[in-house]
């Protein structure tokens, strides 16, 4: 081989080597490290959480019905009282005198009624009966006289003048009898009824005045309408309370009511008897229950007022403070749940999860969800217990991407992110 041929062969060999070296090595498929979780069956609850203001179970702001200075108080602020207990007495000597005056008038009316029904009226009726009897006897005597004279007149033994006189006397006697009889009938019916009604009316009026005076006197004794604690007593003995100011305020704090305002769509799921809890800042939750769900919506806030009642035997909850309320709206047994972070929203409004298949790839799967909490969400359709889902790192992950599984527990123990690990 000549030198020229050797040179050409070397150049061709060099070109072949250079050409082979310029070819790129095949790309390796990327593997994304993600946090995974296993779908499981458990009991899931739909809980509504909100703030509410506490109110006492019952409250009474006692305002006297009469305006009079306070003679004496029997309780102070903070005192525990029972229903019906005497709290204060107002000045009442003038009202006590009015009661005595009306009591005397009542006794007088009672005596008059008794006298009318048992003495006066029977005597008048007896007199009328006697008048009727006398008129009857007079009528009978004149009738006999007329008959006798008529017989003698027919025999010619008596002049006509004497017969006419007897006829006139008979007519007068008959008229007197009729008047007496009508008077007796009236006494037995109309007069008796009206006389008794008049006496009864006077007695009723006297009773009403006595009862009114007694009621006014009783209003000067201030008694508690409920059992509870005295929370306010703004005046002192000797002072007269203003008409618009409560003399004593009592609260029943054995239970408290948390009044919360819930959005209309959430309130539609609530009902009386639903379980709940209330808690103040830094305190443990106390079991409670829903006692009122307002049938109306507040037009200003478009919310529904819901009352939650909780026991308060030791007085730990004070009316007027703000508390945290949690209401259990629904409870589902054996629900399939996954971490809420695993639920993805599509631009079309659908709901998906990334399920890790046996091929080690993440498959985008359409699902339907139910109850959702802060950390877990119920899946009602699209997956089954035991499916492995991407719990963290699924956002923006292409379908069928090869992934490396890392449990959520182990990931929480590490401070680095999957991207940092790669």
Q: How far apart are CA 107 and CA 97, in angstroms?
A: 16
Can you give the pLDDT at residue 13?
Answer: 52
Can you give the pLDDT at residue 412?
Answer: 37
Question: Confidence band (pLDDT; 50, 70, 90) for 18?
Answer: low
Question: Confidence band (pLDDT; 50, 70, 90) for 188?
Answer: low
Q: How far apart are CA 327 and CA 261, in angstroms?
A: 12
DSSP 191: I
Question: Confidence band (pLDDT; 50, 70, 90) for 293?
Answer: very high
Domains 32-42+335-421 and 64-90+220-245 alike in fold: no
Measuring CA to CA, how many Å separate 17 from each of 1, 5, 21, 306, 387?
22, 18, 6, 84, 52
Can you give the pLDDT at residue 56?
Answer: 93
Can you give the pLDDT at residue 120?
Answer: 53
**Could you tell me the residue ranges of all domains in the chain?**
32-42+335-421, 48-54+252-332, 64-90+220-245, 94-218
Can you give the pLDDT at residue 350?
Answer: 86
Can you give the pLDDT at residue 418?
Answer: 34
Say which CATH topology domain 94-218 has. Answer: Methane Monooxygenase Hydroxylase; Chain G, domain 1 (1.20.58)
- Is residue 131 pLDDT above 90, yes or no? no
Can you give the pLDDT at residue 301?
Answer: 83
- Is residue 205 pLDDT above 50, yes or no? yes
Question: What is the mean pLDDT of the segment spanning 7-25?
Answer: 50
**Residue 351: its H or E element:** strand 351-356
Percent of the chain's residues with pLDDT above 90: 27
CATH 3.40.33.10 fits 32-42+335-421, yes or no: no
- Is residue 413 pLDDT above 80, yes or no? no
Question: Confidence band (pLDDT; 50, 70, 90) for 23?
Answer: very low
Q: How far apart are CA 71 and CA 88, in angstroms?
A: 8
Question: What is the mean pLDDT of the segment spanning 274-296?
Answer: 90
Mean pLDDT, the chain, integer: 82
Question: What is the mean pLDDT of the segment spanning 89-111?
Answer: 90
Can you give the pLDDT at residue 141?
Answer: 86
Can you give the pLDDT at residue 422?
Answer: 31
Q: How far apart are CA 296 and CA 178, in angstroms?
A: 77
**183 vs 84, higher pLDDT:** 84
- Is residue 155 pLDDT above 50, yes or no? yes
DSSP 119: I
- Is residue 409 pLDDT above 80, yes or no? no
- Is residue 162 pLDDT above 60, yes or no? yes
CATH of 64-90+220-245, one of 3.65.10.10, 3.40.50.1000, 3.40.630.10, 2.40.50.100: 2.40.50.100
Helix, strand, or coil here: 203?
helix
Question: What is the mean pLDDT of the segment spanning 64-81?
Answer: 92
Can you give the pLDDT at residue 15?
Answer: 54
Of 334, 350, 338, 336, nearest in space to 388 by CA: 338
Can you give the pLDDT at residue 419?
Answer: 33
Question: What is the mean pLDDT of the segment spanning 270-297?
Answer: 90
Question: Confidence band (pLDDT; 50, 70, 90) for 89?
Answer: very high
Please, what is the Cα angle at 244 between 240 and 250, to 5 degrees? Answer: 85
Say which CATH topology domain 48-54+252-332 has. Answer: Elongation Factor Tu (Ef-tu); domain 3 (2.40.30)
Pick from 16-30, 296-310, 347-361 the range whose average pLDDT is largest: 296-310
Can you give the pLDDT at residue 241?
Answer: 85
DSSP 224: -
- Is residue 193 pLDDT above 70, yes or no? no
Can you give the pLDDT at residue 135?
Answer: 86
| Range with lowest mean pLDDT among 166-175, 194-203, 240-249, 413-422 | 413-422
Question: What is the mean pLDDT of the segment spanning 323-332?
Answer: 88
Q: How far apart are CA 322 and CA 311, in angstroms?
A: 16
| Range with lowest mean pLDDT among 44-58, 89-103, 364-378 | 364-378
Can you give the pLDDT at residue 199?
Answer: 79
Residue 234: how many CB atoms within 10 A of its CB?
A: 13
DSSP 397: P
Q: How far apart are CA 100 and CA 272, in angstroms?
A: 53
Report whether 69 contacts 91 (CB < 8 A): yes
Helix, strand, or coil here: 218?
helix
């Amino acid at each position: 081989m000549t030198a020229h041929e050797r040179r050409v062969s070397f150049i061709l060999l060099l070109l072949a080597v250079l050409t082979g070296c310029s070819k790129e090595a095949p790309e390796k498929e990327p593997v994304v490290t993600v946090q995974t979780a296993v779908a499981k069956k458990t009991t899931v609850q739909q809980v509504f959480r909100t703030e509410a203001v506490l109110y006492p179970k019952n409250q009474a702001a006692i305002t006297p019905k009469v305006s009079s200075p306070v003679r004496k108080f029997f309780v102070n602020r903070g005192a525990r009282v029972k229903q019906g207990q005497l709290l204060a007495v107002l000045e009442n000597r003038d009202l006590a005198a009015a009661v005595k005056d009306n009591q005397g008038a009542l006794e007088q009316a009672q005596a008059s009624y008794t006298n009318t029904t048992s003495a006066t009226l029977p005597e008048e009726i007896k007199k009328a009966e006697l008048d009727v009897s006398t008129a009857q006897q007079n009528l009978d005597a004149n009738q006999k006289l007329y008959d006798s004279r008529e017989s003698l007149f027919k025999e010619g033994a008596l002049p006509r003048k004497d017969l006419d006189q007897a006829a006139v006397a008979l007519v007068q006697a008959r008229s007197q009898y009729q008047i007496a009889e009508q008077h007796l009938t009236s006494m037995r019916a109309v007069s008796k009824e009206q006389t008794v009604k008049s006496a009864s009316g006077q007695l009723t009026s006297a009773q009403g005045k006595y009862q009114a005076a007694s009621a006014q006197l009783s209003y000067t004794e201030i008694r508690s309408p409920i059992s509870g604690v005295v929370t306010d007593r703004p005046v002192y003995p000797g002072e007269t309370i203003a008409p618009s100011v409560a003399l004593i305020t009592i609260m029943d704090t054995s239970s408290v009511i948390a009044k919360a305002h819930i959005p209309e769509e959430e309130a539609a799921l609530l009902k009386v008897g639903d379980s709940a809890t209330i808690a103040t800042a830094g305190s443990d939750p106390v079991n409670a229950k829903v006692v009122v769900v307002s049938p109306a919506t507040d037009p200003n806030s478009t919310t529904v007022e819901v009352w939650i009642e909780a026991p308060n035997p030791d007085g730990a909850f004070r009316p007027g403070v703000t508390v945290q309320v949690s209401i259990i709206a629904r409870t589902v047994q054996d629900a399939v749940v996954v971490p809420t972070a695993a639920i993805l929203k599509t631009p079309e409004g659908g709901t998906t999860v990334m399920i890790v298949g046996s091929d080690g790839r993440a498959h985008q799967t359409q699902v339907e969800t139910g109850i959702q909490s802060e950390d877990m969400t119920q899946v009602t359709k699209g997956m089954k217990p035991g499916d492995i889902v991407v719990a963290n790192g699924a956002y923006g992950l292409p379908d069928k991407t090869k992934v490396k599984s890392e449990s959520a527990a182990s990931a929480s123990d590490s401070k680095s992110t999957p991207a940092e690990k790669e």
